[in-house]
């Protein structure tokens, strides 16, 4: 299938569930007193977002239960043992965690904008943003306790949620640490990416399996599907930062190079003997011309670093799709494969 | 019993358990890679602390199980249904949550010192402190999943932990909000204190009851014991800020008055018609003389506001002790009563 058709199917699957997810966020995280706190906590969630991770969760449930997509109420979804499970609550919980990490990351990186609106610490203030993030954190755990799953499954979901959050923090710490390290191995970079980004995709895919009472090998396969495609997603992000023309990217391309951010591409180039630190001159993206970026990208392309990253992402995507072979062959499973493809074929 | 004897018994009970708690913190929150992150996360926990909340948890377990204090391994404590429960993990989890809230509070209040050492955001930096707090947050949930309790009880403990964290955030937001409000009712103040401080005592007392499989009325009684004594503790803190001489308090007394921080005392005084905002002149504690504070305290005493706060704290303490009458009459229960007394009789 062409990548345009895949993208179309994925965007339709996401769009079909977005309103359901948004309504559920409003229900599970209502505006409550103290209102300023909850306004700040909800601000970024209300500002938009594709809802890709919740969509992964909902499709995973449908694939496991082998039901027609969108044929079943996500709030009372049939578990394999016959109980009714609120898989939507799990999907919301993970989106809430994602929002918490963005709020705190933006404070740490002092980023002013997010999803086209001021970051929470700019729209409010740093104190409120820290507290809003902290509130989302515990709210996500509260919401995850309310799925109606059997206690052992509910506890298993909580365990995965907690370890996922720990790993995200570890990944963020590694990312910061790598900025001041001169030699990072590609494996170390991939490990950082796994912690910082991929584990949340892993949890989004695996937690519904835990809640529905699926076998351990299904839980593990879905987790690894998320890890592999999450890693591929991040690598593709790094490729896009260099290869997509600035007007399409919505920001000047090459920002990672200017900011001396290590990616799989720069790490590979270093191994080929490229003086990565000397590729572009200037501390801020405004000081670097498009031409200079063109030359740098050409150099990275010439030594095979961009293709190496692309190929690594493609290999991870193929691996992620093979993970799903433990599931029944159905439309939801196919959509999960499409999402994996979409994460590395999307243009920007 | 005299308050000196009570204090002695409480400090002995805490001291007897402190090393066990500290060892358990090291076991459950080891120094792991990325090491700088975990160093920062462990920094405040290693800097000391009475371990009063963990002691409450351990004594609650002993009181419920009706065993001789310190006669049973806290790592494999007999549940009422016969399983072995790691109540120490629950105690550690709550201490870890307490540490997370202190780290983020110090950033929000820009406090430089904590427990006699630089606050984490001063010893490291703000980014690391935010991330260290976030790591402790999820670690506390991870640790709480490892108690070995029956899944329904384990999940119940997680639910209480999550809602406790949410309430602490709400309390902190209310505290900030009250600084800019002109009229706060004493009930609203007590509600804020309950959220910000008392719920963690409530959870410390009640979570062991949940894990051990105690009846709902026992869980509720222990929770309310913690709420009542936690509220009393905070009110006593406000009294001490005004009434203890500066050299004994370790900081100049009256800081709450200078910083226009509302307390039960100032709110009562306002109701008596006192111009609280005009009591002391000056924005910073260094600008205000001891004499000026003496006059202000005398005024608050004359209209009965200090005695009103003291009496409210005493009433809450008596109520908290009566809550424990559902438990077997044993030494651990007596020590929990002593702790409630100690929280309002401690000199500073």
Collapsing DSSP to helix, strand or coil, B100 comes out as: helix
What span, in angstroms and rounded, lies between the C-alpha atoms of A227 and A347? 21
Q: Which residues of A touch B139 (CB under 8 A)?
A: 162, 166
Buried-exposed string B264-282: b where 16+ CB fall within 10 A, e elsewhere:
bbbbbbbeeebebeebbee
- A173 to B104: CB separation less than 8 angstroms, yes or no: no
Residues 218-257 of B with CB under 8 A from A: none
Question: How far is residue B250's CA from residue B236's CA, in Å, rounded to a whole number?
Answer: 16
A169: nearest CA partner in chain B: B135
What is the phi/psi pair of residue A57, to 5°?
-60, -45
Query: Quick check: B130 and A151 CB within 8 A?
Result: no
pLDDT in 10s for each residue of chain A, 348 residues: 578 899 999 999 999 999 999 999 999 999 999 999 999 999 999 998 899 999 999 999 999 999 999 999 999 999 988 889 999 999 999 999 999 999 999 999 888 888 778 899 999 999 999 999 999 999 999 999 999 999 999 999 999 999 999 999 999 999 888 888 878 888 899 999 899 999 999 999 999 999 999 999 999 999 999 999 999 999 999 999 898 876 666 667 888 888 888 899 999 999 999 999 888 887 777 778 888 889 999 999 999 999 999 999 999 999 999 999 999 999 999 999 999 999 998 875
Does A165 lie at the interface with B, CB-CB under 8 angstroms? yes
Q: What is the 3-state secondary structure (H, E, C) of chain A?
A: CCHHHHHHHHHHHHHHHHHHHHHHHHHHCCCCCCHHHHHHHHHHHHCCCCCHHHHHHHHHHHHHHCCCCCCCCHHHEECCCCCEECHHHHHHHHHHHHHHHHHHHHHHHCCCEECCEECHHHHCCHHHHHHHHHHHHHHHHHHHCCCCCCHHHHHHHHHHHHHHHHHHHHHHHHHHHHHCCCCCCHHHHHHHHHHHHHHHHHHHHHHHHHHHCCCHHHHHHHHHHHHHHHHHHHHHHHHHHHHCCHHHHCCCCCHHHHCCCCCHHHHHHHHCCCCHHHCCCCCCHHHCCHHHHHHHHHHHHHCCHHHHHHHHHHHHHHHHHHHHHHCCCCHHHHHHHHHHHHHHHCCC
Q: Would you call A173 an interface residue with chain B, using a CB distance cutoff of 8 Å?
A: yes
DSSP state of B229: H
Q: Within an 8 Å CB–CB cutoff, is residue B158 touching chain A?
A: yes
Which of A37, A164, A173 is nearest residue B170 as measured by Cβ atoms?
A37
- Nearest-by-CA chain B residue for A33: B170
| Chain A residues within 8 A of B150 when measuring between CB atoms | 151
Average pLDDT over residues B31-47: 95
Nearest in space to B333 (alpha carbons), one of B65, B50, B78: B65
Nearest CB partner across the interface for A158, out of B34, B141, B176: B141
Angle at B194 between CA B191 and CA B199, to 5 degrees: 145
Q: Does A177 touch chain B (CB under 8 A)?
A: yes
How many Cα atoms occupy the beta-carbon half-sphere of A150 within 13 Å?
Answer: 14
DSSP B260-304: T---HHHHHHHHTT--GGGSS--SSGGGS-HHHHHHHHHHHHHTT
B177–A contact, CB cutoff 8 A: yes
* Probe site for chain A from B31, B34, B154 (most A CB atoms < 10 A): B34
A 102-131: CB under 8 A from B:
104, 107-108, 126-128, 130-131
Question: Which is nearest to A58 in space by CA: A21, A8, A97, A23?
Answer: A21
Backbone angles phi, psi at B119, to 5 degrees: -60, 155
Instruction: Please write the tens of the pLDDT for every residue from B26-37.
Output: 999 999 999 999
Residues on chain A touching B126 (C-beta within 8 angstroms): 108
Nearest-by-CA chain B residue for A160: B142
Q: Which domains does chain A have, with CATH numbers?
A: 3-345 (1.10.600.10)
Cis link prior to A34 (omega < 30° from 0)? yes
- In this complex, how many residue pairs, one in chain A and one in chain B, have their CB atoms less than 8 Å apart? 129
Separation of alpha carbons B336 and B222, rounded Å = 10
> How many Å from the N-terminal Cα to the C-terminal Cα in chain B?
20
- DSSP single-letter state for residue B113: E
């Amino acid at each position: 299938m062409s990548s345009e058709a895949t993208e179309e199917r994925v965007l339709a699957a996401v769009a079909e569930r977005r309103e359901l997810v948004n309504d559920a966020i409003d229900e599970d995280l209502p505006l409550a007193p103290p209102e300023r706190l909850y306004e700040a906590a909800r601000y970024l969630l209300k500002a938009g977002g594709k809802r890709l991770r919740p969509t992964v969760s909902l499709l995973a449930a449908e694939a496991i239960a082998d039901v027609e997509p969108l044929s079943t109420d996500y709030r009372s979804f049939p578990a394999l043992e016959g109980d009714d499970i609120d898989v939507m609550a799990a999907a919301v919980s993970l989106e809430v965690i994602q929002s918490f990490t963005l709020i705190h990351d933006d404070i740490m990186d002092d980023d002013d904008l997010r999803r086209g609106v001021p970051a929470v610490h700019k729209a409010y203030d740093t104190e409120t943003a820290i507290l809003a993030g902290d509130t989302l954190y515990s709210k996500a755990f509260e919401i995850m306790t309310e799925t109606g799953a059997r206690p052992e499954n509910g506890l298993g979901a909580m365990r995965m949620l907690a370890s996922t959050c720990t790993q995200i923090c570890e990944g963020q710490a590694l990312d910061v640490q790598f900025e001041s390290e001169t030699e990072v191995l590609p494996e170390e970079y991939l490990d950082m990416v796994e912690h910082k980004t991929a584990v949340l995709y892993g949890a989004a895919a695996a937690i519904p399996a835990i809640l529905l009472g699926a076998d351990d090998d299904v839980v593990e396969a879905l987790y690894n599907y998320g890890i592999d495609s999450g890693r591929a997603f991040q690598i593709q992000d790094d490729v896009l930062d260099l290869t997509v023309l600035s007007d399409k990217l919505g920001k000047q391309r090459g920002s990672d190079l200017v900011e001396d951010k290590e990616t799989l591409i720069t790490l590979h180039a270093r191994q080929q003997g490229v003086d990565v630190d000397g590729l572009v001159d200037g501390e801020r993206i405004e000081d670097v011309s498009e031409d200079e970026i063109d030359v740098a990208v050409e150099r990275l392309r010439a030594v095979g670093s961009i293709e190496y990253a692309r190929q690594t992402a493609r290999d991870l995507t193929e691996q992620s799709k093979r993970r799903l072979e433990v599931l029944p062959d159905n439309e939801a499973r196919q959509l999960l494969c499409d999402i994996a493809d979409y994460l590395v074929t999307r243009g920007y």
